[in-house]
Amino acid sequence: VRCAVPILFTLVVIILNPDITLSQDNNMLLSSRAEQLVQTALRDQKGYFWLKELCAIGPRLSGSQNSLQAIAWAEKTMRHSGWDRVWLQQVMVPNWKRGLREQAMISRSSFFLKKQLAIAALGGSVGTSAAGICASVIEVKSLAEIDSLKEKAKGKIIFLNRSFDRSKFNPNDSYGGAVDQRTRGAARAGRVGAVAVLVRSVTSKYDNAPHTGVMYYEENGTRIPAATVGQIDADFLSSALLQEPNLELTLRLSCKINPDTISYNVIGEIAGSEFPEEIIVVGGHFDSWDLGCGAHDDGGGCIQAMEVLDLFRRLAIKPKRTIRCVLFMDEEQHQTGAERYIAWCDSAGQKHLAAMESDRGVLTPRGFNVDADSLVLIKIQSWQKILEPTGIDWIRAGGSGADVGKIKGAKALLGYVPDSQRYYDFHHSANDVFEAVHPRELELGTAAMAMLVFLLSEEGL
Amino acid sequence: VRCAVPILFTLVVIILNPDITLSQDNNMLLSSRAEQLVQTALRDQKGYFWLKELCAIGPRLSGSQNSLQAIAWAEKTMRHSGWDRVWLQQVMVPNWKRGLREQAMISRSSFFLKKQLAIAALGGSVGTSAAGICASVIEVKSLAEIDSLKEKAKGKIIFLNRSFDRSKFNPNDSYGGAVDQRTRGAARAGRVGAVAVLVRSVTSKYDNAPHTGVMYYEENGTRIPAATVGQIDADFLSSALLQEPNLELTLRLSCKINPDTISYNVIGEIAGSEFPEEIIVVGGHFDSWDLGCGAHDDGGGCIQAMEVLDLFRRLAIKPKRTIRCVLFMDEEQHQTGAERYIAWCDSAGQKHLAAMESDRGVLTPRGFNVDADSLVLIKIQSWQKILEPTGIDWIRAGGSGADVGKIKGAKALLGYVPDSQRYYDFHHSANDVFEAVHPRELELGTAAMAMLVFLLSEEGL
């Protein structure tokens, strides 16, 4: 009967805090509101068509021309939706650019000569000379193994080939268990005198699409070029090295780190009718990687945030509190957009009740993560039943997201959590296109987010 | 505080029934068992490769040559997996066959002459003469509308064009709200003298794939040919009829109802070590429609059932109760396979503890439906936490499935419930192929089913 203890505790909390429960009548009203949001989102599929327009612009790498076009599109679309206020917030962002030259070829070998590997430069990498870097290759499985190479690494290309562990239930854990190779591999290999790194793509799908993503050099560390290689070619290279350990690879990258450039967060809001100074942020990040078009990561999340406010307008819902949609620039590299937004809020005395992020793909809804104190968590959890018609099966303590997680003053930071099983198939690769998004999955997520935003706006925290 | 009542009730039930809760130590053992099942299923992906083999045989329409090949494959695969007993159970099944001639063409029109519509005969339909049926078309939205046509229907092709209501949260409800057109349209149109029916495909995806499925004539009723038309062409036909109400369509179908033929349920089991006479069935239906290859419906479900037993073997789990895998033939038309199985069980005095079915696609896990009395339901619900690592977020009262639902003597009938948002995109169409199955979604479902079967086997009911 040990399980009786948490139930008793919950019971005591509920009885002692009548405020945190809702009356049955109110519950029925709220449930019909949830159903209305689901029906409207699924019927109109407005966000899905918005996402199609957005993806037609192309990928939205921070600092790129496309990203500015997309910003203009978002501003225009928000204005057209008829909110109370829409504005751009200027922010300096990194301006790394992939080059046209991007090649890894086996250039010395008895068996595999001229074999091309499917690669993509990692975000933030320096390029090579036009002639490229020609070197033999050492395969490793960890950063520690790089350290232990010492002298042997000198002049070599280090090939980081630890797998995405597909046996884990949560692909986020598998990703977390492999991604250090991508983010830190070049810095660590640079320390021991390697000339470049190739990193096995961090993805759950066994195909040959390179999955890019950010990498970081150490301050004052040696900066060596870094690229990722598709899983099929990573396996090819690994077995080729077994057969012929001295084969040489030529790596050519014309990517370039340009000076930081001007970009914008896109912000729009519907003012609260009773407590306009209590702000509820709903957002995602508007930049993407430059392969695919960032449909799941995070175009879809931004569209969901925009459609939350659009649903309020379509259904003539007047929120008691201010609902603000924030599309953050530059989440993928340095989160300068989120930092800029926070700095402005602090200086302008903006007060957040809650902030919600959608940045885990736009797959079928599962739950919400809540980063808040226990009483706030219990209050939000008491709404779970009302959210069920939108596909939300649980509300748990957990992290919100890279951007809204920085809004420390809010009473609750919320992360929308869709099913994650397919997410890394698309993530940071040419697989992340509009066609990979299912309209029902996108729209149900929108309805779930809209309903939780509505509850926050009506009930407060 | 109204919500306190169900919590109190649960509490009282739990306190009064110490048997139905598990000790914390046992819970930890069981949780690590669940994790082991998840890891093994996701790592090996054995079921996924089985499904590839199965789909390579082709679709498994009841009575078809392919279905017999698939039966032989399943028997061989079960034997190879090393269970205690594998056998085929003979059953007579319907033997409807699609013909090579399957055409709907606009044959009289000022604007749309010779336009071909994407169609497929419905399962069980009679064919037309080689020359086909040429007639004008009346569009309706319901069976009642057919009845009200009376004399006007004579000699006409009735076009049933009510939409799949995409605004509902649960696509099963949308399907249920449209499928009477497919199952009963021809019978009702035959009553009022129509010569054929065309039915809008019942699917959640807006494309032009015809989605077939069973249709039933009335005993001694007029039997007229019935075909389904892809959604895009259904919309085309509807607007063409607005422009030109007198256009004529020629329908040619060479499908044929052949006499019932011999087929088999495929059955295999691992005998229980303590209570071998208490049987736990896990199964799906092995027949499919003849478009696509029945990967989701229900090849994947059958593979999951087979892999449950294979996982027990791979992990050297000796179940206390007998675990029996049943692949039922002919669910799609007359459920003769399930009836044959039950009849045999009754005559042989077989006693079922529980029976579980997977026939809702092999998408990401959500929960289990339980058809049982309240105390059994509460006992199974008390295992939910243990099942969570397999992706199971809830256990609810609900229907099991068309086949195991017939095993009335079991203490619990269970339906595995994966996420349903994408299911009808594939259902009964050429979209239902191996490539539409995600290995992680399939394998997590297998692990969830295996864990619940394990709990039933260890704990009883």
Does residue A224 have a pLDDT over 60? yes
Does residue A1 have a pLDDT over 70? no
Distances in Å between the Cα of A88 and the Cα atoms of A79, A327, A341, B141 are 12, 10, 11, 49
Question: CB A166 to CB B8 under 8 A?
Answer: no
Question: CB B15 to CB A2 under 8 A?
Answer: no
Q: What tens digit of pLDDT does each residue of B131-182 get?
A: 999 999 999 999 999 999 999 999 999 999 999 999 999 999 999 999 999 9
Range name among A7-21, A185-199, B180-194, B395-409 with the lowest pLDDT average: A7-21
The pLDDT profile of chain B, 461 residues, written as one tens digit per residue, is: 344 555 566 555 555 554 555 677 888 899 999 999 999 999 999 999 999 999 999 999 999 999 999 999 999 999 999 999 999 999 999 999 999 999 999 999 999 999 999 999 999 999 999 999 999 999 999 999 999 999 999 999 999 999 999 999 999 999 999 999 999 999 999 999 999 999 999 999 999 999 999 999 999 999 999 999 999 999 999 999 999 999 999 999 999 999 999 999 999 999 999 999 999 999 999 999 999 999 999 999 999 999 999 999 999 999 999 999 999 999 999 999 999 999 999 999 999 999 999 999 999 999 999 999 999 999 999 999 999 999 999 999 999 999 999 999 999 999 999 999 999 999 999 999 999 999 999 999 999 999 999 999 999 99
pLDDT of B1 reads 39
Cβ contacts of B10 on chain A, cutoff 8 Å: 7
pLDDT of A230 reads 98
B30 burial (CB, 10 Å; 0-12 / 13-18 / 19+) is buried
Q: What tens digit of pLDDT does each residue of A259-285 get?
A: 999 999 999 999 999 999 999 999 999
pLDDT of A23 reads 74
Residue among B2, B38, B169 minimizing CB distance to A38: B169
Q: What tens digit of pLDDT does each residue of A36-67 get?
A: 999 999 999 999 999 999 999 999 999 999 99
Kindly state the helix (H) or strand (E) to which residue A325 belongs, with its residue range.
Answer: strand A321-328
| Largest Cα–Cα separation, chain B | 78
Q: Which amino acid is at A353?
A: L
Does residue A101 have a pLDDT over 90? yes
End-to-end CA distance of chain B: 33
Distances in Å between the Cα of B398 and the Cα atoms of B63, B371, B384, B401 are 32, 6, 15, 10
Cβ contacts of B38 on chain A, cutoff 8 Å: 167, 169
CB B186 within 8 A of CB B215: yes
The residue that leads in pLDDT, B15 or A409, is A409
Alpha helices, DSSP H, located in A153-245 = 171-176, 180-191, 231-243
Query: What's the 3-state SS for B358-403?
Result: CCCCCCCEEEEEEECCHHHHHHHHCCHHHHHHHCCCEEEECCCCCC
Q: What is the mean pLDDT of residues A337-350?
A: 97
Question: CB A166 to CB B440 under 8 A?
Answer: yes
pLDDT of B25 reads 82
Q: Which residues of A touch B (CB under 8 A)?
A: 1-4, 7-8, 10-11, 14-15, 18, 21, 23-24, 35, 38-40, 42-43, 45, 166-169, 171, 204, 364, 366-367, 382, 389-391, 393-394, 419, 421-422, 438, 440-441, 444
Does residue A305 have a pLDDT over 60? yes
Which residue matches tokens 């939706």?
Answer: A81
Residue among A4, A23, A438 minimizing CB distance to B421: A438
Rounded to a whole number of angstroms, the distance from the CA of B448 to the nearest CA of chain A is 11
Q: What is the mean pLDDT of residues A333-354?
A: 97
pLDDT of B26 reads 86
pLDDT of A21 reads 55
Give the other-Cβ count within 10 Å of B320's Cβ.
18
End-to-end CA distance of chain A: 33
Cβ contacts of A391 on chain B, cutoff 8 Å: 169
Return the percent helix, strand and coil in chain A, to nearest 5.
40, 25, 35
Decide if B331 is catalytic: yes
Q: What is the mean pLDDT of residues A69-85?
A: 98
* Percent of chain A clearing pLDDT 90 (strictly above): 93
Angle between helices A4-16 and A374-381 (to 10 degrees): 90
Residue among B1, B204, B444 minimizing CB distance to A15: B1
